[in-house]
Amino acid sequence: MPDHLGVPAAGGDAVPDTGAASGFVRFDQVSVTYGAGTAQAVPALSPTDLGFAQGDFICIVGPSGCGKTTLMQTLAGFLKPTSGTVSVAGVAVTGPGPDRGVVFQHAALFPWKTVAANAGFGPAMRGLPKAERQARVEYWLNSVGLWEFRNRYPYQLSGGMQQRLAIARALANEPDILLMDEPFGALDALTREKMQEELHAVWKRRGMTVLFITHSVDEAVYLGTDVVVMSQRPGRILQRIAAPFARLAGERDIRRIKAGADFVTLREQVLALIWGEGGG
Amino acid sequence: MIAFLNRRPWVVTLASIVLVLAAWAVATYTGAVSDLLLPTPDELWDGAADLVLNGYKGYSLGGHIGLSLMRVGLGFGLGTIIGTLLGLGMGVSSKLDALAAPYIEFLRPLPQLAYLVLLIIWFGIGETPKIVLLFLAALPVSAVAARDGVRNVSPQRVLAARSLGANRWQIFCHVVLPSALGDIFIGARLSIGIVYATLIAAEMIAGASGIGWLILDAGRFLRSDYVIAGILIIAAMGIALDRGLIFAQRRIVHWAGK
């Protein structure tokens, strides 16, 4: 009988080795080919390995059509990889789920619901108690400065406010991972920098993991703990660069960071990578 | 002058109406057009007043209008409700679409008068064939509108809802259905137009009531004053029905186009 108890323990011992190497989020040889197996097959993403830890702010930057959105969609569960696997905390991703919140380039709000109902959509669908739902809506709408607009409809908000609501909607569900696909792409420069600061503040407060897609190198270098540079189609990862500025958020003003010599150097380094790839 | 009119288009509308009324008065009072074909303004007034006060052949004017509205209401109401439910199902399930589409596509372009005779053979000459005729006029239009509404739902909103933890039924209720409402209302306005146009045909089926029948019957006795009064009433009812739908649309689908 003691032998019987010993068996599972021995089997379990082999696991931690690969588990430690896998990271919190792990892309394992993930590739995507649109229309695979047909004459019109378009390779979008070359087999890619990428892993990151809980609390990381990963920015993926690259030229248009480089497969960065494709990569994100495999983690969101919107797109099944042609080969390879995506996993979160060791569990393979098979579809969308509330543990992975998504913010789209265009807010994708529900125009028939009020601001408050949009923000509380996730908790309501998941059947959280009413008091808990209301508390979350109030907290997150206050966080993004939209509490006083709670009874309005999305079409009564400006573009920047709509995007803030989309972020609040994703965060009110308290996901482990926040996936953002060029969320600030349609905003003017001033609103954009304000949103970058606000996003940093929320990320620090919540300690969540963020995967952020952008084609702005400036934005990627400022926001990310890591900047992942991708090549042109079919996309592959050219380099992963650690960036120190995300950790400074809240201590130093955004303009001072972006005007600093170290920021400019890193930004130019990333730009050179992208340009070098584009020229070759 | 042109700038003045551009700023006040209603002046042009008013002038156009006054001009037509004046031409009518001149043409009839001078005897250029026989009052058998076109009544003079005061003959029309007397005819309309007679209809209001004394009704027409067994029913008051309100009775005729009420019966017509009842037929339109039942035919349009049932046709739109059942057509919309069917269309929603067709939009969600390709199997149901494959099952129902041939009949919907067959019925939709078919002139209602083409199957009117068959309805009389099947249902006799009471209220049933009239309402079934209007029902069949409303059904395919509503079904196609609702199906297209479901198919036009933004895939990104569906993905957003799935990422927020909504299940299939919740996605249908909270995303697909409200998203399709705009198309459903456009379909309803289209269908009330068709139903209304079919009303006259429905009331041709033997019977002696309804505003459409009143016009047809008065025509047989060359009572052009009753005919024109009937046309004005039926036009006013049509405008009121359409405006009612527009009002409901603006209240319910308030986000559309914004």
Q: Is the pLDDT of residue B144 over 80?
A: yes
> Nearest to residue A63, comparing CAs of A201, A182, A184, A144?
A182
How far, in Å, CA of A93 to CA of A70, rounded? 15
The answer to whether B181 faces chain A, any CB pair under 8 Å, is yes
Tens digits of per-residue pLDDT, B54-67? 989 889 999 999 99
pLDDT, tens only, A224-277:
999 999 888 788 888 888 888 888 777 778 888 888 888 888 888 888 888 776
User: pLDDT tens across B208-254, in order?
Assistant: 899 999 999 999 988 899 999 999 999 999 999 999 999 999 999 99
Q: Tell me whether residue B66 is in a domain.
A: yes
Overall pTM > 0.90? no
Is residue A6 over pLDDT 50? Answer: no
Q: Cβ of B163 and A98 within 8 Å? A: yes
> Average pLDDT of B32-60?
89
Question: Which residues of chain A does B166 touch, with a Cβ-Cβ cutoff of 8 Å?
Answer: 121, 125
Give the per-residue pLDDT at A5: 39
Residues B166 and B44 in one domain: yes
Residues 96 to 155 of B: which have CB under 8 A from any A CB?
154
- Beta strand A209-214 with A177-181 is parallel
Distance CA(B125)–CA(B184), nearest Å, equals: 32
B255 inside 8 A of chain A by CB: yes
B189 touches chain A (CB under 8 A): no
| A96 in reach of chain B (CB within 8 A) | yes
For B58-66, which contacts have Cβ atoms below 8 Å and span 24 or more sequence positions?
Answer: B58/B208, B58/B209, B59/B208, B59/B209, B61/B233, B63/B209, B64/B209, B64/B210, B64/B211, B64/B213, B64/B214, B65/B211, B65/B233, B65/B237
Residues 150-169 of B with CB under 8 A from A: 154, 156-157, 159-167
Distance CA B175, CA B164 (A): 12
| A176 in B contact zone (CB under 8 Å) | no
Enumerate the domain spans of chain A.
22-34+43-99+177-280, 105-174
Closest CB to B255: pick one of A98, A126, A153.
Answer: A153
CA distance A21 to A221: 26
Range of lowest pLDDT (A92-96, A98-102, A195-199): A195-199
Q: Does A104 touch chain B (CB under 8 A)?
A: yes
Instruction: Write out the residue range of the structural domain in which residue B192 sits.
Output: 39-252
pLDDT of residue A202: 85
Buried b (16+ CB within 10 A) or exposed e, A107-122: bbbbbbbbbbbbbbbb
Q: In this structure, are B47 and B26 located in the same domain?
A: no
Give A100's strand partners: A177
Same structural domain, B72 and B191:
yes
Does position B205 have pLDDT exceeding 70, yes or no?
Answer: yes
Q: Residue B13 and residue A37: Cα distance in Å, rounded?
A: 63
Q: Is residue A188 over pLDDT 90?
A: no
Considering the domain architecture, whether residues B9 and B60 belong to the same structural domain is answered as no
Burial A218-234 (b: 16+ CB within 10 A, else e): bbbbbbbbbbbbbbbbb
Q: Measured between beta carbons, which residues in chain B are less than 8 angstroms from residue A157?
A: none
| pLDDT of B117 higher than 90 | no
Q: CATH assignment of A22-34+43-99+177-280? A: 3.40.50.300
Instruction: State residue A17's pLDDT score.
Output: 30
Residue A280 clears pLDDT 60, i.e. is over it: no
Contact assignment for B162 to A111 by CB distance below 8 Å: no
Asked if the C-beta of A153 comes within 8 angstroms of chain B's C-beta atoms, the answer is yes
Q: Considering chain A, what is the average pLDDT of its residues?
A: 84
Same domain, B77 and B10: no
Q: Is residue B44 part of a domain?
A: yes
**Within this chain, do residues B51 and B165 fall inside the same structural domain, yes or no?**
yes
Q: A41 at the B interface (CB within 8 A)?
A: no
Smallest Cβ distance to B163: which of A102, A110, A155? A102
Locus of tokens 């009072």: B29
d(CA B65, CA A159) in angstroms, rounded, equals 50
The number of C-beta contacts closer than 8 angstroms across A and B is 66
Instruction: Say yes or no: B28 and B129 in one domain.
Output: no
For residue B67, which of B209, B183, B237, B205 has the smallest C-alpha distance?
B209
Provide, as residue numbers in chain A, all residues whose Cβ is less than 8 Å from the Cβ of B183: none
Pair A239, A266: CB distance under 8 Å: no
**Contact predicate B83/B143, CB 8 Å:** yes
Residue A10 has pLDDT above 60, yes or no: no
Best of A99, A121, A174 to disrupt the B interface by mutation (most B CBs within 10 Å)?
A121
Q: Are residues B81 and B159 in the same domain?
A: yes
Same domain flag for B27 and B104: no
Domain assignment present for B258: no
Residues B8 and B72 in one domain: no
Contact A59, A228 (CB under 8 A): yes
Is residue A232 within 8 Å of residue A272, measured between CB atoms?
no
Same domain, B194 and B125: yes
The percent helix, strand, coil of chain B (3-state, each to 5) is 80, 0, 20
What pLDDT, on the 0 to 100 scale, is given for residue A14? 33
- Residue B257, domain member (yes or no): no
A76 at B interface, C-beta within 8 A: yes
Q: Is B161 in contact with A125 (Cβ distance < 8 A)?
A: yes
B201 shares its domain with B233: yes
Residue among A96, A110, A170 whose CB faces B162 most closely: A96
Separation CA A103–CA A210 (nearest Å):
11
Q: Is B192 exposed, middle or buried (0-12, 13-18, 19+ CB in 10 A)?
A: buried
Whether A183 has its CB under 8 Å from any CB of chain B: the answer is no
A34–chain B Cβ distance below 8 A for any pair: no
Interface test with B, best of A112, A155, A156, A171 (most B CBs within 10 A): A112
Domain count, chain B: 2
Chain A residues within an 8 Å CB radius of B254: 153
Q: Which of A76, A111, A121 sits opposite B255 (nearest CB)?
A: A111
* Residue of chain B with shortest Cα separation from A114: B255
